[in-house]
Chain A
Amino acid sequence: MSAAFWTRVRRRLTTERHLLGCALVRLGAGLVALSYLVGHWSARELLWGPGAVYPLFLYRRDLSLLRWPSLFAVESDVAFTALYVAAIAVVGLYTIGWQTRWLGLPFYVVVSSLLARNPMLLTGGDALFLAELPFLVFLDTGAYLSVDSGWRRPGERFEPPSRPFAALLHNVALIGIAIQLCMAYEVSGLYKVAGELWRNGTAVYYALRRPEFVLPGVSAAIYRPASVVTLLTYGTVAFEIAYPFLVWKRGTRWLAVLIATLFHGAIAVVMGLVTFAAEMLVFQLVLLDDEQYRRAYGWLVRADERRR
């Protein structure tokens, strides 16, 4: 390959890219973590405390197997609550974008510690969250919509300072997040293709009938018409298999994000998997570049002006 090719590669990798998407990921990931910590404040003892439904003796018994230590595995109620409050502070500060370069690692430690304390609570969304968080540590997530940036708005232009090594880490982390997303959807699609109920077009019926996923008055209207069930079953498989190909081309990335938003939004409302849906959607936000976000922001501003 020519020297010009490598120069182009270096130029791309020494400019921090997708800074608006990274800021949105910070906000989204922070809000998901806060929904765990603040949203479950009243149930914190039951879920992660010394008297949790996943008892300390079980955590200690399986620690050698799971090899996943947790800061929250303490015997004192007072120490647990103090750690819990400290965790809320760390997550809160990271979410508003204060010292994001330094708080990325504590944010990762706090969130993974919380989830490690009760592995029975983990969902597929949490698994994706945990797999993506190490990459988040290396991203520049504070360039927009943060205390660090003086709450720079999406419409404002920003040229990041020249930091070749930091930019390299940032861009490699971006690629890592995208590959992890693609892997999750593609492998899920491969498993579905191998399943009899997915092949015969009825899997969605059985999933929607499970009591934990029923939305009274709505679910039956979806799973009774055979055409809707078949369309949703095959549509799910088609979307998951196609996802990496949609993400590969810049021109179709918005379509991948749009379908994912509709897909997970419907799962959140109809099946009640709200946190799962949020976790699956948050990291999609890095896929769009700053120009695409600026165009969308400009369109929203103009629509708002017309409305007035």
Chain B
Amino acid sequence: MRVQPAAPATRREAVRLALWWLTAGALATGLAAHFTLVLLHVLPPNPVSAAFRGVTRAWVVPRFAQDWRLFAPTPVVNDCTAYARALYDDADGEHVTEWLDFSTPVVRAVQRNRLSPRNAVLPMLFTAMYDVTNRAGPRDGLLRQRLLEEWSDVARQPPSLVVLEASGSAALAAAHPDRAFRHVQVMIAIQPPLPFAERNAPEDERPQAAYLVLPRVPFQPVAAWGAGR
């Protein structure tokens, strides 16, 4: 069926129609510009995105910030576990607590109940662990030492490490409510999985874990689980 164009009846209607088309044109242009910038920002590395990185970043971050590397190009394969210990003083002098595993209880809580409030904390802890281990990288000796010295100052730490220390502090405070801690220290255990070809082998045949021990920093009071402070 042919649609006949409707002619505007009055001058007022004609102005409204022109305004409508102007608005439609502006919105279409805006939408196209927005998604061109977002697309250039999120695409895998390529020459065009690199050429416009400054412009795309200025538009996309922070309001439209997004990253679609979901488990890609390579999913993180290592298992990580976060531990924390604290230093405290009493009449006998300085003491250090045992290492406390504060990521596994969160994993267990979410495994028991997929709707547990810990559901939000779980990705936060693991994202933080992967970020810290990536930043520490495979460097050895002097380079690793320099990085850890830099991180002994909380003000120079990456957000992921600050969040791990704060989460560890909350767990330690809950485990030892009667102690006043002076310092907190975080350690991350990194264990590679069994390769796909050995997926049916027993768990105890997995490769040994490596440990990343991070510098001790002043203990920070953090809100407790389950209630307001």
Q: Beyond A169-B27, A229-B196, is A7–B223 a contact (Cβ under 8 Å)?
A: no
- Asked whether B3 lies within 8 Å of A120 as measured between CB atoms, the reply is no
Task: Determine how close the nearest CB of chain A comes to the CB of B15; give it in whole angstroms.
Answer: 13
Of the stretches A180-188, A246-254, A283-291, the one at the interface is A180-188
Contacts of B67 in A (CB 8 A): 124, 127
| Residue from the list B35, B42, B222 in contact with A53, Cβ < 8 A | B222
Contacts of A224 in B (CB 8 A): 199-200
Of the stretches A19-27, A91-99, A196-204, the one at the interface is A196-204
| Residue from the list B81, B170, B196 in contact with A206, Cβ < 8 A | B196
Of the stretches B88-96, B110-118, B134-142, B176-184, the one at the interface is B110-118
Contacts of B75 in A (CB 8 A): 195, 197, 203, 206-207, 210
Cα–Cα, bound, A229→B71 (Å): 15
- Asked whether A10 lies within 8 Å of B20 as measured between CB atoms, the reply is yes
Contacts of A212 in B (CB 8 A): 107, 110, 122-123, 126
Cα–Cα, bound, A60→B170 (Å): 21
CB within 8 Å of B: which A1-29 residues? 3-4, 6-8, 10-11, 13-14
Is A119 located at the chain interface by the 8 A CB criterion?
Answer: yes
CB within 8 Å of B: which A154-178 residues? 164-165, 168-169, 172, 175-176
Chain B, 101-112, contact with A by CB distance < 8 Å: what is the 0/1 string? 000100100110
Contacts of A14 in B (CB 8 A): 20
- Asked whether A127 lies within 8 Å of B65 as measured between CB atoms, the reply is yes
Contacts of A172 in B (CB 8 A): 24, 27-28, 31
Closest chain B residue, CB of each to CB of A275: B119
Is A66 located at the chain interface by the 8 A CB criterion?
Answer: yes
Best-surrounded residue of A54, A179, A212, A224 (most CB of chain B within 10 A): A212
- Asked whether B66 lies within 8 Å of A184 as measured between CB atoms, the reply is yes
Is B226 located at the chain interface by the 8 A CB criterion?
Answer: yes
| Residue from the list A52, A216, A229 in contact with B111, Cβ < 8 A | A216
Contacts of A116 in B (CB 8 A): 62
Is B167 located at the chain interface by the 8 A CB criterion?
Answer: yes
Cα–Cα, bound, A171→B158 (Å): 42
- Asked whether A168 lies within 8 Å of B3 as measured between CB atoms, the reply is no
- Asked whether B69 lies within 8 Å of A55 as measured between CB atoms, the reply is no
Q: Beyond A7-B4, A81-B228, A121-B123, is A183–B31 a contact (Cβ under 8 Å)?
A: no
- Asked whether A47 lies within 8 Å of B163 as measured between CB atoms, the reply is no
- Asked whether B107 lies within 8 Å of A211 as measured between CB atoms, the reply is yes
Closest chain B residue, CB of each to CB of A276: B123
Is A103 located at the chain interface by the 8 A CB criterion?
Answer: no
- Asked whether A272 lies within 8 Å of B20 as measured between CB atoms, the reply is no
Cα–Cα, bound, A278→B201 (Å): 35
- Asked whether A120 lies within 8 Å of B159 as measured between CB atoms, the reply is yes
Closest chain A residue, CB of each to CB of B191: A211
Task: Determine how close the nearest CB of chain B comes to the CB of A249; give it in whole angstroms.
Answer: 20
Q: Beyond A55-B166, A120-B159, is A42–B117 a contact (Cβ under 8 Å)?
A: yes
Contact size range, B: 35 or more
CB within 8 Å of B: which A91-116 residues? 112, 116
| Residue from the list A185, A190, A272 in contact with B110, Cβ < 8 A | A272
Is A192 located at the chain interface by the 8 A CB criterion?
Answer: yes
Closest chain B residue, CB of each to CB of A9: B24
CB within 8 Å of A: which B69-100 residues? 69-77, 79, 81
Is A68 located at the chain interface by the 8 A CB criterion?
Answer: yes
Contacts of A58 in B (CB 8 A): 159, 162-163
Is B43 located at the chain interface by the 8 A CB criterion?
Answer: yes
CB within 8 Å of A: which B174-229 residues? 193-194, 196, 199-200, 220-229
Task: Determine how close the nearest CB of chain B comes to the CB of A29; give it in whole angstroms.
Answer: 17
Cα–Cα, bound, A92→B39 (Å): 33
- Asked whether A188 lies within 8 Å of B27 as measured between CB atoms, the reply is no
Task: Determine how close the nearest CB of chain B comes to the CB of A253; give it in whole angstroms.
Answer: 19
Is B148 located at the chain interface by the 8 A CB criterion?
Answer: no
Contacts of A45 in B (CB 8 A): 223-224, 227-229
In the A-B complex, the 8 residue pairs with the smallest Cβ-Cβ separation, listed nearest first, are: A195-B73, A45-B223, A191-B72, A51-B223, A68-B62, A3-B5, A53-B166, A187-B68
Binding site for A on B (CB under 8 A): 2-6, 16, 20-21, 23-24, 27-28, 31, 34-35, 38-39, 42-44, 61-77, 79, 81, 104, 107, 110-111, 114-115, 117, 119-124, 126-128, 155, 159-160, 162-163, 166-167, 170, 193-194, 196, 199-200, 220-229
27 A/B residue pairs, CB under 8 Å, sorted by A? A6-B5, A40-B117, A43-B117, A43-B121, A43-B225, A45-B228, A46-B222, A53-B222, A66-B61, A130-B65, A130-B66, A134-B64, A164-B16, A168-B20, A176-B31, A183-B38, A187-B44, A188-B72, A191-B73, A194-B72, A197-B77, A202-B196, A203-B72, A207-B75, A210-B79, A212-B126, A268-B114
